[in-house]
A and B are shown apart, each in its own frame.
Chain A
């Protein structure tokens, strides 16, 4: 392995090479096609031509900024909810899971084995207007007497949260499981209460997991369309739905492409702001 000692500078590139080469061919090149398309104009009847049509971007933003904002909003709320809901469980599995850890992790991703449509149909059954959940909520006056849960923004956000829970829980677990318990014990030996030890030792050490989970949840959730389509009314639709309809029904490929880039830019900006807030080392890792 002395080869690597001498060629230390080469090692990172060798590690990166297979994965990034794969992505370069099968992601960056398609993205290039997409970029090219976003500057085209035309229609399905007479074809499309490259015309440096920057107006695609302007129009997209002008016409659909409401959906852009709504998407970031729904994704943000869903991410926060997922974080709050998953953190205690990830902690529990990491610290108390023992030999059952892997099994519990499996349970977290288990819903994905039954395909999205089936588990959403199951939720529709559970949250049905005539189901016990809605009745209970009406009883508790959390819902009006004619109220419903389906086809509302609540349903959409809940759907997104539920479907992205594993993306938050698993990275959290990964980071929590690594924490050296002797650090926590040391804190407690120094008369910190359990809560204090958690806040000053565990939480900061789990921050890489929090960051990872947040990214893996927020970023794809912002582009989601299916939850809004099945669980929402037209006023709950997200930018993913608009892009979908531009592409499929309106065959307006340039518009769909331009919107996708605007969405990606918006997400990257949000991520950059987030990175600033948590400190970039959490995001990119320190090179020791």
Chain B
């Protein structure tokens, strides 16, 4: 490995050793700082979830309490709102990623008539301001009223604007994909489907996972388009916006923290499982 060469050189010159150490770790230090910056608001959110505000506003620290966690759904409507948001985010991200991956495959691997048009079709939803996007979709639902307002209309809306994100993310992977691997597999007798299953898909998996995460995040946080197409249903962001008018209760912080913790725990569990598998193997 090249680092051995570097170390050998470093052994000869202590200054270079120091420099090498810094260079080695500056990236890590920077990344840690980056995550600190990224998650700073989350830290504030977590801290304030333990706040005990005297009034209805949770803006200044007034005392520690476990109550908010104890009565996490003590605010009527918050539970159904978060459940709805999670359901929609899960389904929407899965469907959008699936549809988006297919489109990305087509765009990168094949020459066909209408490639430019398809590309424009993918970019347009990204560039449409949310308010007119939401209102126009609502017009569609009103004029052609066969979709019940609520879960289904919100789901359709979320899939619609997530597809573009999935396409662009997966495409970034496919563009640099080494086709020789697939050719090698086929030379070794695999048919197209097996090659896709055993070569293409696993190598594209990180991009698909990234697309899933991105779509999930977008969906669970969307406000404007959801608002127009939600009928009388209330998702978590809608709930928060409404509550913030009077003063978002600390339970909102509790739920945000809880989702974060659960997701991290799930990922950690995955890592530990993988490690066990590797050790056993």
Contacts and interface: CB of A to CB of B under 8 A. Distances in A.
B41 to A, nearest CB: 4
Central interface residue in A91, A104, A112, by most chain B CB within 10 Å? A112
Given A105-B210, A170-B213, A287-B110, A188 B5 contact: yes
Given A19-B102, A99-B275, A126-B41, A264 B128 contact: yes
A228 interface: no
Q: Is the interface of B mostly helix, strand, loop or mixed?
A: helix
Given A12-B110, A16-B102, A100 B126 contact: no
Contact of B45 (A30, A119, A179): A119
B260 A30 contact: no
Interface string B149-181: 000000011011001010111111111111100
B214 A166 contact: yes
Contacts of B173: 174-175, 178, 208
Contacts of B123: 215, 219, 267-268, 271
A222 B129 CA distance: 9
Nearest to A32: B136
Contacts of B108: 285-287
B105 A15 contact: yes
A280 to B, nearest CB: 10
Given A100-B271, A115-B236, A118-B252, A109 B127 contact: no
A287 B41 contact: no
B188 interface: no
A44 B114 CA distance: 40
Contacts of A184: 2
Nearest to A220: B126
Given A89-B30, A174-B207, A188 B106 contact: no
B228 to A, nearest CB: 10
Interface of B: 1-2, 5-6, 23, 27-28, 30-31, 34-35, 38-42, 44-45, 48, 59, 99-100, 102-103, 105-112, 115-116, 118-121, 123-133, 135-137, 139-140, 143, 156-157, 159-160, 163, 165, 167-179, 191-193, 203, 206-207, 209-210, 213-214, 216-218, 220-221, 223, 236-237, 240-241, 244, 248, 252-253, 256-257, 259-260, 263-264, 267-268, 270-271, 274-275
